[in-house]
């Protein structure tokens, strides 16, 4: 039997968002390996030229070719499944509707505010036309919707005026099983550091890097490790504080799992800015899977992840009080190693909700929904 093609069409690719989907497709046996396509063309091409990244230039040219052929000959996508990861009210939906015309479309989103107040894409011109196009697309063209959180699912349902409920499924992001390979233990205290604390992500203001630096000043006997790249990279490279370690961007999941395993706490003190707050952080669940205890600010994504346990609700702090409240929590962990171990075990148990096997089962429901809605 000929296998069915599945194409993941995303602004920037993001294959790590789809490891649960890939597992389902492989397990099912009737689908080919997913193909990854990107629709952010101009920006990616300019970046490739600027950085002299010939691999990115070639990849972008291949994406341009696929988009052009699909636009001219939309029938080429007939009998294919296309999973579209796209920010709400993106104007490019006008062109993608033709490309997706004959495909079975699954829309994938993590955006948590569809109320018109905080869309990531601000359309100055033809805003009403674009909104109408999105309403038509989601209600008439899309066969199933995969929402990354329950909040996202509820927001999309409201956007669609409480219609098409049968299309909407909650599908969390998944983490690689390699993060479950270690044994959960408290990291042994060195003569120098009493707790090992980790941050993974973009090193930019809205990720709360200054708050973590403040904590490192307050607690010179805790070790703070930063993994990532961004505006604060140079500051962290040049720091002379002996309790700060900067690892840079780590691409290898096995290496990242090893780093997580060497830490007790994962920090995510994100700060809201216009058009953005922390959504579903894959790095957070990866670290939790190794036993890192999460201390976060009260953003929608982390709050939903930590919904798995009432114990973790006490570690969701306001942006304003994060440094003080996190300091108190860290002191408790420092002084009670038995409690530290218990919470590390609970963190891993919570993360299992987002394992590849669990999320694969959620994607199975999405495809079942898509097939039923195509009948």
pLDDT tens for 42-63 read 888 888 888 888 988 999 999 9
Residue 1 lies in a domain: no
Q: Are residues 165 and 202 in the same domain?
A: no
Mean pLDDT on 307-314: 91
Q: Are residues 67 and 158 in the same domain?
A: yes
Contact 184, 341 (CB under 8 A): yes
CA-based max dimension of the chain = 67
pLDDT class for 189, splitting at 50, 70, 90?
low
Q: Which of 5-14, 176-185, 256-265, 355-364 has the lowest average pLDDT?
A: 176-185
pLDDT of residue 259: 96
Residue 111 tokens, joined: 């955006």
Q: Which residues contact 149 (CB under 8 A, 6 or more apart)?
A: 110, 112, 170, 172, 279, 280, 300, 301, 304
Contact 89, 121 (CB under 8 A): yes
Mean pLDDT on 145-171: 91
Higher pLDDT, residue 162 or 235? 235
pLDDT of residue 121: 66
| Radius of gyration of the chain measured on its C-alpha atoms | 22
Q: Are residues 219 and 247 in the same domain?
A: yes
> Whats the size of the chain, residue-wise?
375
Q: Please state, for a pLDDT cut of 90, what percent of the chain lies above it.
A: 73
pLDDT above 60: residue 292 = yes
Average pLDDT of the chain?
A: 91
Structural domains in the chain (count): 2
pLDDT of residue 122: 65
CA-to-CA distance for 283 and 299, rounded, in angstroms?
15
Mean pLDDT on 294-323: 94
CATH number of the CATH domain containing 219: 3.40.50.2000
Q: CA 96 → CA 111, 126, 216, 231, 333, distances in Å?
A: 19, 17, 47, 34, 51
99-156 pLDDT tens trace: 999 999 999 999 888 876 666 666 667 778 888 999 999 999 999 999 999 999 999 9
**Cα(first)–Cα(last) distance of the chain, in Å?**
21
Helix, strand, coil percentages in the chain from 3-state DSSP, rounded to 5: 50, 15, 35
Contact 301, 112 (CB under 8 A): yes
pLDDT above 90: residue 84 = yes
pLDDT of residue 186: 63
pLDDT above 60: residue 64 = yes
Residue 269 tokens, joined: 């003190």
Q: Are residues 73 and 184 in the same domain?
A: no
Q: Please state, for a pLDDT cut of 70, what percent of the chain lies above it.
A: 95
Residue 299 lies in a domain: yes
Q: Are residues 17 and 154 in the same domain?
A: yes
Higher pLDDT, residue 185 or 315? 315
* Closest to 289 measured CA to CA, from 182, 168, 152, 137: 182
pLDDT of residue 18: 95
Residue 346 lies in a domain: yes
CA-to-CA distance for 89 and 93, rounded, in angstroms?
8
Residue 94 lies in a domain: yes
Q: Which domain holds residue 317?
A: 177-354
Q: Which of 117-126, 321-330, 333-342 has the lowest average pLDDT?
A: 117-126
Higher pLDDT, residue 199 or 373? 199
Contact 104, 83 (CB under 8 A): no
DSSP letter at 38?
A: E
DSSP letter at 189?
A: P
Q: Are residues 218 and 141 in the same domain?
A: no
Residue 158: count of CB within 10 angstroms of its CB: 11
CA-to-CA distance for 244 and 250, rounded, in angstroms?
17
DSSP letter at 139?
A: I
Residue 268 tokens, joined: 């995510």
Torsional class of 275: left (φ above 0), alpha (ψ -120 to 50), beta (otherwise): left
Mean pLDDT on 212-217: 96
Mean pLDDT on 81-100: 94
Residue 326 lies in a domain: yes
pLDDT above 90: residue 212 = yes
CA-to-CA distance for 59 and 37, rounded, in angstroms?
9
pLDDT of residue 347: 96
Mean pLDDT on 180-187: 72
Q: Are residues 316 and 360 in the same domain?
A: no
Q: Are residues 130 and 184 in the same domain?
A: no
pLDDT class for 188, splitting at 50, 70, 90?
low
């Amino acid at each position: 039997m000929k296998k069915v093609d599945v194409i993941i069409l995303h602004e920037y690719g993001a294959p790590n968002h789809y490891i649960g989907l890939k597992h389902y497709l492989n397990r099912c046996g009737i689908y080919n390996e997913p193909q990854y396509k990107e629709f952010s063309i101009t920006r990616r091409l300019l970046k490739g030229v600027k950085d002299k990244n010939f691999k990115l230039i070639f990849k972008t040219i291949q994406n341009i070719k696929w988009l052009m052929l699909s636009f001219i000959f939309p029938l080429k996508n007939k009998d294919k499944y296309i999973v579209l990861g796209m920010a709400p009210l993106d104007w490019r939906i006008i062109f993608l509707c033709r490309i997706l015309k004959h495909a079975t479309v699954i829309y994938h989103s993590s955006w948590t505010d569809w109320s018109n107040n905080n869309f990531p894409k601000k359309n100055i011109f033809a805003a009403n036309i674009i909104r109408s196009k999105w309403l038509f697309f989601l209600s008439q063209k899309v066969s199933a919707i995969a929402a990354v959180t329950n909040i996202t699912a509820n927001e999309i349902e409201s956007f669609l005026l409480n219609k098409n409920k049968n299309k909407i499924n909650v599908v969390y992001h998944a983490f690689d099983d390699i993060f479950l390979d270690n044994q959960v233990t408290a990291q042994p205290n060195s003569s120098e550091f009493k707790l090992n604390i980790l941050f993974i992500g973009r090193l930019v203001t809205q990720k709360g890097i200054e708050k973590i630096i403040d904590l490192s000043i307050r607690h010179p006997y805790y070790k703070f490790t930063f993994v990532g790249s961004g505006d604060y990279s140079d500051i962290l490279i040049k720091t002379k504080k002996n309790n700060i370690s900067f690892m840079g961007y780590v691409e290898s999941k096995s290496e990242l799992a090893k780093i997580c395993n060497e830490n007790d706490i994962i920090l995510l003190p994100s700060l809201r800015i216009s058009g953005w707050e922390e959504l579903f952080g894959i790095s957070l669940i990866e670290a939790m899977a190794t036993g890192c205890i999460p201390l976060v600010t009260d953003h929608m994504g982390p709050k939903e992840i930590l919904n798995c346990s009432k114990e973790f609700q006490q570690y969701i702090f306001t942006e304003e009080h994060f440094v003080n409240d996190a300091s108190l929590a860290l002191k408790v962990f420092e002084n009670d190693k038995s409690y530290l171990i218990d919470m590390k075990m609970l963190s891993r148990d919570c993360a299992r909700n987002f394992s590849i096997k669990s999320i694969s089962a959620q994607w199975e429901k999405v495809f079942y929904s898509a097939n039923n809605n195509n009948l």
